[in-house]
Amino acid sequence: MTTVLEIADVCKSFTMHLRGGLVLPIVRGVNLAVRAGECVALCGPSGAGKSTILKMIFGSYRCDRGAIRLYHDDACTDIATAEPRALIALRRSTIAYVSQFLRVIPRVSAIDVVAEPLIAGGIGSGTARQRAGDLLTRLNVAERLWPLAPATFSGGEQQRINIARGLVADHRLVMLDEPTASLDAENRAAVVALINQRKRSGTAIVAIVHDADVRAAIADRTVDVSAFAAAG
């Protein structure tokens, strides 16, 4: 299988400016490769650095050292050193991130929230909304909710909007941070089926999943982030 993501000797720390410049090490020596059609699950105790690794892959956090190579469109981009404009372009076309919390513009309808990544990628609004609706149906989001703003929804409904938004476009790499944490058994199963379909289509996935059953259902490999713990 083709390598999509390669993380080489990545380190990350945070500087606590309100504590006199205290440096707080998070992870060091992170080495990881993810192939097309593969889901790698990050595991380890709370605070081990799992979410930090996802955010470095997405470019939200800069690493202190190392490379985060994304292979796409016959090119390779080092996310660790990429310019902000290049990161924005990659997020439109190549990488997606589903966080634990839905963050959207207030008063935008649920179907438009989900369709937005497709429209940003150049797909017409009609086709984008149709694809968004198909995905919302698959994730058991009632059609009567589609015109409403997700801020009015329950936690589980918001999470399914979040997942739909992250998976609606054919991104080459997807990061998932606890995608099923607030879902009941029926909707967990729907999300698992959707993730596995995306894997079959060649999407590379890096996931944080604390639910052991879900992790077993989607992960091809698990990586214990504790191995990258940075000494204080």
114 CB contacts (<8 Å, ≥6 apart)? 132, 135, 136, 161, 164, 165, 168
Percent residues over pLDDT 70 in the chain = 98
Distance CA 154, CA 75 (A): 41
The model's confidence at residue 104, banded by pLDDT at 50, 70 and 90, is low
The model's confidence at residue 231, banded by pLDDT at 50, 70 and 90, is low
Of 71, 59, 162, 58, residue with least CA distance to 117: 162
pLDDT at 207: 97
Mean local confidence (pLDDT), 185-190: 95
Distance CA 203, CA 197 (A): 9
Percent residues over pLDDT 90 in the chain = 80
Q: How many alpha carbons fall within 13 Å on the CB side of residue 212?
A: 0
What digits encode the pLDDT tens for the residues 108-152?
999 999 999 999 889 999 999 999 999 999 999 999 999 999 988
Q: How many alpha carbons fall within 13 Å on the CB side of residue 135?
A: 29
Distance CA 117, CA 93 (A): 9
What digits encode the pLDDT tens for the residues 59-103?
999 999 999 999 998 899 999 999 999 999 999 999 999 987 777
Instruction: Report helix, strand or coil for 116.
Output: helix
pLDDT at 53: 96
Distance CA 179, CA 159 (A): 7
Q: What is the dihedral of CA 86, 219, 224, 177, to 10 degrees?
A: 50
